Amino acid sequence: MSTFEQLKTEAQRIADVKYAAAVLNWDMEINMPANGVEARSRQLATLSGIAFEMGTSEKFSNLLQAAKDDASLDALQKRNVELLWSDFQKAKKFSQEFVEEMSMTVSQTFAAWEHAKKANDFSLYAPQLEKMIALKRKQAEIIGYEKHPYDALLDDYEPGMTAAVLDEYFNTVRSGLKPLLEKIKAQPQVDNSCLHQHFDRQQQWDYSIAILKQMGYDFGAGRQDISTHPFTTNFAATDVRVTTRINENDMTDCLFSAIHEGGHALYEQGLLTGNYGLPLGEAASLSVHESQSRLWENNVGRALPFWKYNFEIAQKTFPAQFSAISQHTLYKAINRVEPSFIRTQADELTYHFHIMIRFDIEKALMEGTLNVTDLKNYWNEQYQKYLGITPADDATGILQDVHWSHGLLGYFPTYSLGSAYAAQYYRQAEQDIPGLNDLIAKGDNAPLLTWLREKIHVHGRFYNSQDLCEKVTGEKLNFNHFLKYAEDKYSGIYGF
């Protein structure tokens, strides 16, 4: 067996343990009874410790070194080794005790968040969240950073990204979106009352399944379930699971959660199975991952071509609600621009401000200028400042997101970056695929999925976000593509 094959075998064994833990995490959010938290937290901590021990062992180190010295490796093998070596050097900075402590804290903090969310009471979550923030600060110190502790966390999700670069990015977002939002605000508001009726749970579920199949999601390699906060999880390219949620008074919650998570899942299902356990079998970054979900949700699912095909299906599924309205009425309704409290339900323009607020909060928490005890009030103040609204309760405010309970600080900025990448990728797809929008208007999404598979999915982590974008579109991330897309779309919807 070659040096690379030996390394690959060991890397896959480590992945097996990590994905076994991921299965337990999925079960904890979908099926586990409430009293199982303590035992499940222990089980996850044990598996995390085992995976860490394997991934930082002398055996793995020796295999990596041998592969690094092997001149016979091809370009793909060399890139896998480079990335594995980088991950190894980072992991070696942590102790097994810290890894197990983080795993235990994540399980406990998630349970505290879920309890607080149901009780609509941030105070039930705050003490455990304080422990998580303290642990994340410790993590940043262990990793090390040059200018800001937040930079150390960003690197987990968006390699090379810094707080300073994000400050500049969000300044561009603010200056670019503000004039467009002012134009929209000056026009008569779109009527979306057709969306706020009673929609049967089973009908919504069946419709979301049909749309996932239309997108190309392979149910032979996945499934959909219900969760408090929609998410996607994967254990291999052949087992990628999504969740949605159902609001019987708004069918878009279930529908667009399914489309969004379906976009994530298509990326995971498109990774090469031969790279299981290796960096080239993983997504390029969280912003690229988010570009896939936002592309399907917004550039496809909220676009007119999609509804030219799906409007009649929607009418047949929900005849009492939609039989008396037009296709254009529904299209305009699902694209209504209006400040709102819930990030996952926000329109695609004000959505960026939801992310900016979270970025500002995370950065302040990491530098110690904002305490968890002041978090709720600060959150409400920022929503009033940027969106002109103040949450009436904790569930629609500070408790709406699950991310911090999982220790995912540094994750949120990738949502905004992903939307910008999505617009740029879709613009390129329109140029590369003749009649793309006409195909989608006929219910044929296969050419787009094939394009995404060939241009993005198959590369795994071979390229970083910016290099991948440049390879696909000919330039690095350019927010002007999103602005052009938004201006064209919303001038038609709002008539300016």
CB count within 10 Å of CB 326 equals: 11
Q: Are the CB atoms for 338 and 189 separated by under 8 Å?
A: yes
Residue closest to 125 by CA, chosen among 361, 368, 377, 399: 399
Catalytic status, residue 130: no
Distances (CA, A) of 296 to 16, 70, 267, 421, 445: 30, 42, 11, 12, 10
Nearest to 437 by CA among 318, 314, 306, 345: 306
Rg (CA), the chain: 23
d(CA 14, CA 324): 56
Q: Which residues of 258-288 are buried (b: 16+ CB within 10 A; e: fewer)?
A: bbbbbbbbbbbbbbbeebbbbbbbbbbbbbb
**Calpha distance 289→225 (Å, rounded):** 20
Look-up: residue for tokens 């793995």?
A: 60
DSSP conformation letters of 288-345: HHHHHHHIIIIIITTSHHHHHHHHHHHHHHSHHHHTTS-HHHHHHHHT-----S-GGG
- Catalytic-labelled residue, pool 10, 100, 158, 261: 261
Q: Quote the CA–CA distance of 249 and 430 in Å, as a whole number.
A: 35
Q: Mind telling me the catalytic residues?
A: 261
